[in-house]
């Protein structure tokens, strides 16, 4: 496992290593499903992440994006004691390179917040109206696989989701999943990696071009 210096989102996606999002694309490929990415929601979440995790960066907010809502949500996160502590002491936007021991496949993850390689925290914007609904959505959208993949990649022990409610009253849903949740996610990603090794796959993200990037090795 190796933590590498900052990479842009495009540089990260281009690395010929398997990300959790690549596993989603591969799953859809296996089962003949049409991959769907809500581009507007993804762009909104990415901009909010940047505002929260990279405060020194001059974030450009697109004209068609609700800047007032972004600022409301950012302030909600900054006012929370747990999130404020994380922003002060945790590493932000860490790229982790690792090799899956069962298959030998090269893998990668980009962690929102990681504290001493033990606690991993992921920020999620959500339109769910209650904490219970947010927790249910974590099961629906395969967030268990993401949590296990991220934890195992960095050798972490605890994983926490911070759901950021995009609708009034703009609550935060802080959810630490159970061991069973993580174990179920681990089984999902291990099965997908085994199938990947058997049939081979090249995700669309590896084919994007920005500039030539070196192949980064895991330690």
> Does 71 fall in a domain?
yes
> Does 209 fall in a domain?
no
> Does 206 fall in a domain?
no
> Does 19 fall in a domain?
yes
> Does 105 fall in a domain?
yes
pLDDT tens-digit series, residues 174-214: 999 999 999 999 999 999 999 999 999 999 999 865 434 44
The total number of structural domains that make up the chain: 1
d(CA 90, CA 40): 28
pLDDT tens-digit series, residues 91-121: 999 999 999 999 999 999 999 999 999 999 9
In degrees and rounded to multiples of 5, residue 77 shows phi and psi of: -70, -45
CATH code of residue 100: 3.90.320.10
User: Can you give the residue range of the structural domain that contains 30?
Assistant: 2-200
pLDDT greater than 50 at residue 215: no
> Does 189 fall in a domain?
yes
> Does 134 fall in a domain?
yes
> Does 43 fall in a domain?
yes
Residue 123's DSSP bridge partners are 162
Within the chain, where are the H helices?
9-14, 20-30, 39-53, 67-79, 81-89, 131-140, 143-154, 179-199
């Amino acid at each position: 496992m190796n933590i590498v210096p900052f990479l842009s989102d495009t540089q990260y996606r281009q690395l010929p290593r398997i990300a959790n999002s690549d596993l989603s694309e591969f799953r859809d490929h296996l089962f003949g499903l049409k991959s769907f990415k809500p581009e507007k929601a993804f762009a909104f979440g990415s901009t909010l992440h940047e505002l929260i995790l990279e405060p020194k960066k001059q974030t450009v907010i697109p004209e068609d994006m609700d800047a007032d809502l972004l600022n409301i949500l950012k302030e909600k996160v900054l006012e929370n004691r747990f999130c404020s502590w994380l922003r002060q002491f945790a590493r932000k936007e860490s790229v982790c390179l690792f090799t899956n021991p069962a298959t030998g496949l090269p893998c990668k993850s980009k962690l929102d917040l990681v504290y001493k390689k033990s606690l991993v925290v992921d920020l999620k914007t959500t339109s769910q109206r209650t904490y219970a609904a947010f927790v249910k959505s974590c099961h629906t959208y395969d967030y268990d696989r993401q949590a296990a993949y991220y934890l195992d990649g960095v050798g972490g022990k605890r994983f926490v989701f911070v759901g950021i409610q995009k609708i009034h009253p703009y609550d935060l849903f802080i959810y630490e999943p159970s061991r069973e949740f993580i174990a179920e996610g681990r089984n999902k990603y291990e099965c997908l990696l085994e199938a990947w090794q058997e049939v081979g796959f090249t995700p669309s993200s590896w084919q994007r071009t920005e500039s030539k990037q070196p192949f980064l090795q895991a330690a």
